[in-house]
A and B are shown apart, each in its own frame.
Chain A
């Protein structure tokens, strides 16, 4: 999600890439790539008839929140993370869609693959944004960072039918600021020599780590822009903000940011959870939900080539008391059926009856699947559930998330807040 902190218009145009031309990108090896209104764009790609209407993706129930809104919807004031009910009041004529996470994950994976074609130094921040450090690829590809940015933008649109914005800069912080300022469907380059000119007119809230409270504190001592902070002696900042934050902001305000692009750190766990529209007692409903969440978690494991040994479930009751229970399997798994079976056992054996508000599934103790052998069993056929599920994954990646699903999920409970709705209009 880009910051909307604006530069004076003329200044922004100075850095924007236009018609294949851009400012000097020497010494700007960091790219920040951010999909434009990712979930909404994916939904529109699936249903082109929505192209000209406001589209809001989010929980459709009364506890749901907005996950994503296209730019048309944003003109009505709809924003991510606001309650869906609020968004409905702002844009009553918008099309509201439940999210289809499986599909987003699928596309996200494809997009990240494009980045990894270019450089191994890819640090995904979420499904829809990532840093890419291209410094090692320039010579091999005989190109420049901004040219790579342009190439990424073209490939993402050509291969996935959605647009993205790219910020190019000497540091992560600047690259991310730049991508936020050229959205949607743009590219911005912050030349090394013009960091100060780019940064200093911005409001303090543009700095990474400055939220509402810190901005107020800074305003109180008369610091409104990044230039103000850069000009303030460090000891004075320290008195107001404390040592750590003062030093952090001071460095950023002068364009310094030592964070390196860290390729995907090994995840510790993979999971999914769901808040019900209305609290549920019914074990049948809870079990169906566990199946759906197990499918999502195990699908993520399979897609990332991981397996996990410990399965845990989380249950939050109507009074917000929350319990988590886990069980360790003899052999690490990425099979939906095994995750689901374990989750159900945990539910049956460890969760007292009561009205449930939220339920979640998580797989922990992950190992990389490609160097994990598969412990064979006496009674297992040569090809089992893993192969069946891999085949289903492939079908879903071709035909969308509704192509193959467990039969018990076909008549999906209607009253969920974040449910990938069945799509009869889909092949």
Chain B
């Protein structure tokens, strides 16, 4: 193999592929990046494809290149990413001779050992295209929802984002049992598709949505629900991920149908105030929200660790009430509504509270909810 490629294109491609590689690969080849030059599988015009795969997630991206001699080779992904990031801004020449790969750029030269390509797993085939949507919309929706996904691997069904397709809409939902985030928007799949729901690892989905949803681009969604595979592509990048084989909790019944108290809150002042008072909330203990007519008093801490309080003006309707939340969960929720004002509603201090976006006219905007369980105050 002997090729010539632009430095920036190569560095971006390798960095993007390497970020999905496992940090401690169970076998060395799974920590590798596959360089494939002149393969007939490549996109037209992209003579070089850069790929990674660890049996869970695959990532493939094409890079324009000049091929003197085609071929495939496998090298350590982490090392190649570090090297290409640090290369000077000159064309890069890559050649493989025997079991070593040489990278030349300007006056810099690297020689890396290669790993046997024969030991590398077959990259999954991109599943059937389901439809496409604006990259920005998808990126925002995923990040609004993935924030509520669990991080505890012992409860795998909670580490995913449930993706529901059907009834003319796309629904994304995630919960870690303490909060639940749900985003819905109208969407028509390309072909008539049966209603379907899959569970996608939240971290992978969030990473992919962030990097694929670059401005103006479209994201293509592909699905092979029976094979347990989801594909996403956009901006020349393709990624697949295994679906989680676990039952997502029955969440619809959790959504409250009514509330007795509601407040419209300016998000930014609330975020600032919660961050301030929770400085004394030791190890993530609660911040208390005391709602009275026209006002909200935030407080946290106690005699031992110090205490803090702060008052905010809010539009509040309902009986005076004190409700407490984990400050991190509250902050993540009010930040996820993505509007300058948020609507917070609840019934009692031990029942779930609901955060929703508020539009410019002061009305609740449909499409997103963040449901948050309070902290029961001691005593």
Q: Mark A208-230, 1 if CB is under 8 A from B, else 0.
A: 00000000000000000000000
Contact of A375 among B180, B304, B352, B375 (CB under 8 A): B375
Most chain A beta carbons < 10 A, residue from B283, B302, B326, B374: B283
Residue A119, interface by CB 8 Å: no
Q: How many CB-defined contacts (below 8 Å) exist between A and B? A: 61
Chain B residues, CB < 8 A from A368? 304
**A376 and B283 contact, CB distance less than 8 A:** no
The distance in angstroms between the C-alpha atoms of A331 and B379, with both chains bound, is 18
Contact A378 B352 (CB under 8 A): yes
In the bound assembly, the distance between CA atoms of A368 and B304 in angstroms comes to 10
Q: B376 to A376, Cβ gap below 8 A?
A: yes
A309→B304 CA distance, assembly (Å): 19
Among B152, B249, B285, B371, the residue within 8 A (CB) of A372 is B285
Q: Is A23 at the interface (CB under 8 A from chain B)?
A: no
Q: Is the interface of B mostly helix, strand, loop or mixed?
A: loop
Q: Which of B243-292 contact A (CB under 8 A)?
A: 249, 254, 282-286
The answer on a CB contact under 8 Å between A375 and B175 is no
Report the nearest B residue to A374, measured CB to CB: B376
Q: Name the CB-closest residue of B to A379.
A: B177
Known A-B contacts A330-B176, A378-B175; the reply to A373 vs B254 at CB < 8 A is no
Q: In the assembly, what is the distance between CA of A345 and CA of B152, in Å?
A: 11
The answer to whether A373 touches B178 (Cβ under 8 A) is no
Contacts of A371 in B (CB 8 A): 285, 302, 304, 378
In the complex, B154 has a CB within 8 A of chain A: yes
> Which of A345, A370, A376 contacts B378 (CB under 8 A)?
A370
Would you give the shortest CB distance from B299 to chain A, in whole angstroms? 13
Interfacial chain A residues near B177, Cβ < 8 Å: 377-380
A332 at the interface (CB under 8 A from B): yes
**CA A316 to CA B175, docked complex, whole Å:** 37
Interface readout for A379-393 with B: 1 if CB under 8 Å, 0 if not?
Answer: 110000000000000
Binary interface profile of B, 24-50, with partner A (CB < 8 Å = 1, else 0)? 000000000000000000000000000
Interface residues in A334-375 by Cβ distance below 8 A to B read 341-342, 345, 365, 367-375
Neighbour of A378 across the interface among B286, B304, B373, B376, CB < 8 A: B373
Is B99 part of the binding interface, using a Cβ–Cβ cutoff of 8 Å?
no
Q: For B377, what are the chain A residues with a Cβ–Cβ distance below 8 Å?
A: 373
Residues of A contacting B373 in the complex (Cβ-Cβ under 8 angstroms): 375-378
- Bound together, the chains give a CA A373 to CA B371 distance in angstroms of 19
Q: How far is the CB of A55 from chain B (nearest CB, A)?
A: 42
Give residues 34-61 of A contacting B (CB, 8 Å): none
- What residues of chain A lie closer than 8 Å to B350, measured between beta carbons? 376
* CB under 8 Å from chain B, chain A span 138-164: none
Write the nearest CB–CB distance from B305 to chain A, whole angstroms: 9
Q: A376–B326 Cα gap in the complex (Å)?
A: 10
Q: How far is the CA of A377 from the CA of B152 in the complex (A)?
A: 15
Contact of A373 among B154, B282, B375 (CB under 8 A): B375
Q: Shortest beta-carbon distance, B346 to chain A, in Å?
A: 12
CB distance from B7 to the nearest CB of A (A): 41
A368 vs B371: C-alpha distance when bound (angstroms): 28
Q: In the complex, A365 Cα to B326 Cα: how many Å?
A: 17
How would residues 226 to 240 of chain A score, 1 for a CB under 8 Å from any chain B CB and 0 otherwise?
000000000000000
| Cβ-closest chain B residue relative to A341 | B154
Report the nearest A residue to B301, measured CB to CB.
Answer: A371
A331, A341, A342, A380 interface centre (most CB from chain B within 10 Å): A331
- B92 an interface residue at 8 Å Cβ cutoff? no
* Bound-state Cα–Cα, A376 to B346, Å: 14
A367 x B178 contact (CB < 8 A): no
CB distance from B322 to the nearest CB of A (A): 11
Residue of B nearest to A349 (CB): B153
B324 in the interface, Cβ–Cβ < 8 Å?
A: yes
Which residues of A in the span 310-348 have a Cβ within 8 Å of any Cβ on B?
330-332, 341-342, 345
B2 CB, min distance to chain A CBs, angstroms:
45
B378 touches A375 (CB 8 A): no
A372 touches B178 (CB 8 A): no
In the bound complex, CA of A380 to CA of B378 (Å): 17
Least CB distance from A326 to B in Å reads 14
Report yes or no: A332 in contact with B374, Cβ–Cβ below 8 A: no
| A residues less than 8 Å from B254 (CB atoms) | 378
Q: Is the CB of B249 within 8 A of A379?
A: yes
A294 CB, min distance to chain B CBs, angstroms: 15
Contacts A365-B283, A371-B285 given; indicate if A376 touches B180 (C-beta within 8 A): no
Q: Which residues of B contact A367 (CB under 8 A)?
A: 282-283, 285
CB pair A373–B152 under 8 Å, yes or no, is no
- A309 — which chain B residues lie within 8 A by C-beta? 283-284
CB neighbours (8 Å) of A365 from chain B are 283
Query: How far in angstroms is the closest Cβ of chain A from B247?
Result: 13
Complex CA gap A374/B350 in Å reads: 10
Assuming the contacts A365-B283, A378-B177, A379-B249, asked whether A372 and B378 have C-beta atoms less than 8 A apart, the reply is yes
Q: Contact between A345 and B154 (Cβ–Cβ < 8 Å)?
A: yes
B360 to chain A: closest CB distance in Å? 32
- Output the nearest chain B residue to A369 by Cβ-Cβ distance: B378
Closest residue of chain B to A370, judged by CB? B378
Interfacial residues of chain B within 356-379, with CB under 8 A of chain A in the complex? 371, 373-379
Q: Are A330 and B152 in contact (CB under 8 A)?
A: yes
Contact residues of B between 141 and 162, Cβ < 8 Å to A? 152, 154
B318–chain A nearest beta-carbon distance, Å: 20
CB 8 Å contact bits of A121-134 with B (1 = contact, 0 = none): 00000000000000
Min CB distance, B227 to chain A, in Å? 27
- A309→B326 CA distance, assembly (Å): 14
User: What A residues does B378 contact at CB under 8 A?
Assistant: 369-374
Smallest CB-CB separation from A345: which chain B residue?
B154
Chain B residues near A373 (CB-CB < 8 A): 285-286, 324, 375-378
Residues from chain A with a CB closer than 8 A to the CB of B180 are: 378
What 1/0 flags go to A9-49 for Cβ under 8 Å of B?
A: 00000000000000000000000000000000000000000
Q: Is the CB–CB distance between B283 and A375 below 8 Å?
A: no
Please name all residues of chain A whose beta carbon is closer than 8 Å to the beta carbon of B176 when the two chains form the complex.
330
Q: With A and B bound together, what is the CA distance between A71 and B62 in angstroms? A: 84
Q: How far is the CB of B26 from chain A (nearest CB, A)?
A: 14
Interchain CB contact under 8 A, B154 and A374:
no
Please, which residues of chain A bring their CB within 8 A of the CB of B284? 309
Separation of A150 and B254 alpha carbons in the complex (Å)? 60
Taking CB atoms, residues of chain B closer than 8 Å to A330 are 152, 176, 178
State which of B283, B302, B304, B375 has its C-beta within 8 Å of the C-beta of A374.
Answer: B375
Whole-angstrom CA separation of A309 from B282 in the bound complex:
12
| Interface residues in B308-367 (C-beta closer than 8 Å to A) | 324, 326, 350, 352
Q: Smallest distance from the beta carbon of B250 to chain A beta carbons, Å? A: 9
For the complex formed, measure the closest distance between the CB of A327 and the CB atoms of chain B, giving whole angstroms: 8
Chain B, 174-190, contact with A by CB distance < 8 Å: what is the 0/1 string? 01111010000000000
Supply 14 further A-B pairs (C-beta < 8 A) apart from A368-B304, A375-B375.
Answer: A330-B152, A330-B176, A331-B178, A367-B283, A369-B378, A370-B378, A371-B285, A371-B302, A373-B376, A375-B286, A377-B373, A378-B177, A378-B249, A378-B254
A-B contact pairs, 6 of them (CB 8 A): A367-B285, A368-B304, A370-B378, A372-B378, A376-B376, A378-B178
Closest 3 CB pairs of A and B: A373-B375, A376-B373, A373-B286
Instruction: Show the binding face of A for B, using Cβ within 8 Å.
Output: 309, 330-332, 341-342, 345, 365, 367-380
